[in-house]
Amino acid sequence: MLDALKVRWSQGRQYIPDLRAASPRGFRGAPALRDLDCVGGCRACADGCPAQAIATTPLAIDLGRCITCGECAEICPPGKIQVTSEHRLAATSREALVVRVGQEALPVIEASRELRRAFGRSLKMRQVSTGGCNACELELNALGNVNFDLGRYGIEFVASPRHADALVVSGPLTKNMKEALELAWDGTPNPKFVIACGACAISGGLYHDADGLDRSFLERFGPTLYVPGCPPHPLTFVCGIMDLLGIAPPPSARDALAKLLAQGDAAARASRATAAENLLRAVGCDPGLAKDARTPEERRRSLAVVPSEKPVR
């Protein structure tokens, strides 16, 4: 028992109060491309990229293919490529996932008024793995644990597409999963939309040239949200879906409780004052709660002590 308590104590506070303000330590996130000249037409970064996510004329990195391995930053001779810890990588268009030289940040996701009206308070998602390695699935499962607790925003995964509002697709979309994916989409009631999660789902990732893929589904039903990464960090998914739906972070439980107690105290005081006033009026007394129209001089005179003509024995 003591050993279990020591482990729990060493873990500290796991719950993340504000997912918007959280920043993962040591995370390999968005690359930054500095405005430096490549030495003699160097292609070391592009040749060393296992996902073929780098173009050199001009230099650009496609986050839809990038597996965030960080090899490009290590082999780039002039240090033009740097890897940051920025985890806000999601986008609503495929073009917005391309990082170019001098770009300070990825485009901000604009909240959809239609999606917010339909799913702003409750969004149920069905996740379909289309031949992936289960890394994306593990990160998506983490969204429901005590750390991230995405359910506090009304966003949850469901077991059946008939209960879902959105389809979260992971994996490179193999031919063997084509029929199952379409059945899940057909079983999802309208209105509905698609979320492509992970480099494999967005572009095929390391398997984009494989013969066993059939990506026609995403060609017919374009994703509304792209969540890049290999695998994506849970906070990347959280920030992307919350930005898309225009969900603001809720107040902390302590602030909400303090506000509730303050409202209760004010209501209780007002109720007690009203009851006392009604009681005084019932017995024919003036509660004295009306505004005093007298001048300050008249109030001082009323409080002055008048000496008695006859001594009091």
Cα 21 from chain centroid?
9
pLDDT single digits (tens) 177-193? 999 999 999 999 999 99
pLDDT of 2 above 90: no
Give pLDDT, residue 98. Answer: 93
Task: Identify whether the C-beta of residue 53 lies closer than 8 Å to the C-beta of residue 30.
Answer: no
∠ CA 274-277-283 to the nearest 5 degrees?
Answer: 140
Q: How many helices (H) and strands (E) are present in the chain, helices listed first?
A: 11, 10
Q: Which residues contact 290 (CB under 8 A, 6 or more apart)?
A: none
The least confident of 2-11, 43-52, 55-64, 209-218 is 2-11
Q: Which helix (H) or strand (E) holds 279?
A: helix 253-282
pLDDT of 309 above 70: no
Q: Domain 25-100, what fold?
A: Alpha-Beta Plaits (3.30.70)
Average pLDDT, the chain: 83
In which residue ranges of the chain is CATH 3.40.50.12280 found? Answer: 113-245
Q: Backbone dihedral region of 149: left (phi > 0), alpha (psi from -120 to 50 degrees) or beta?
A: left
- CATH, domain 113-245, list 3.10.100.10, 3.40.50.12280, 3.40.50.150, 3.20.20.450: 3.40.50.12280
What is the gyration radius of the CA atoms in the chain, in angstroms?
A: 31
Nearest alpha carbon to residue 130 among 205, 51, 72, 67: 205
∠ CA 192-110-191 to the nearest 5 degrees?
Answer: 10
In which residue ranges of the chain is CATH 3.30.70.3270 found? Answer: 25-100
pLDDT of 300 above 80: no
As a three-state string, the secondary structure of the chain is CHHHHHHHHHHCCCCCCCCCCCCCCCCCCCEEECCCCCCCCCCHHHHHCCCCCEEECCEEEECCCCCCCCHHHHHCCCCCEEECCCCCCCECCCHHHEEECCCCCCCCCCCCHHHHHHHCCCEEEEEEECCCCCHHHHHHHHHHCCCCCHHHHCEEECCCHHHCCEEEEECCCEHHHHHHHHHHHHHCCCCCEEEEECHHHHHCHHHCCCCCECCHHHHHCCCCEEECCCCCCHHHHHHHHHHHHCCCCCCCHHHHHHHHHHHHHHHHHHHHHHHHHHHHHHCCCCCCCCCCCCCHHHHHHHHCCCCCCCCCC
Nearest alpha carbon to residue 89 among 194, 199, 15: 199
* CA gap 300, 313 in Å, rounded: 28
pLDDT single digits (tens) 227-285? 999 999 999 999 999 999 988 765 555 565 566 666 666 666 666 667 666 665 665 55
How many other C-beta atoms are found inside a 10 Å radius of the C-beta of residue 179? Answer: 10
Q: Which residues contact 151 (CB under 8 A, 6 or more apart)?
A: 144
pLDDT single digits (tens) 9-60? 777 777 788 888 888 888 888 888 888 887 777 888 888 889 898 888 888 9
Give pLDDT, residue 74. Answer: 87
pLDDT of 124 above 90: yes
What average pLDDT does range 212-225 have in this prediction? 94
